[in-house]
Amino acid sequence: MMTPQYAAPEVVVELTKNYLNKLSDRELQEHFIKLSHKFSTLLNEGAEHDLNVLQSYLRMIAAEMSERMKGK
């Protein structure tokens, strides 16, 4: 059983990767920017759990962006 301390359980990771894969480059970039701004805002508030979750999503988006750059 997954505990709440995990930022992104495996099922969520796979679903998120599939979702990100279907986005256009522009949509992917928009998500990254939006989550980066949210991360910056939460950084000042010190909400550690929320920061960990956002960091996980930002890493997944960055990985998807990196893969796309390799393919071009």
**Nearest 5 degrees, angle CA 28-CA 25-CA 12?**
35
Q: What is the pLDDT of residues 2-47, one digit of tens each?
A: 445 554 577 878 888 899 999 999 999 999 999 999 999 888 887 7
Q: What is the pLDDT averaged over residues 54-66?
A: 92
Is the C-alpha dihedral spanning 61, 15, 39, 44 positive or negative? negative
What does the pLDDT read at residue 45? 82
Neighbours of 34 (CB within 10 A): 10
User: pTM above 0.85?
Assistant: no
Report residue 59 CA to chain centroid gap.
Answer: 5
What does the pLDDT read at residue 36? 94
What does the pLDDT read at residue 5? 53
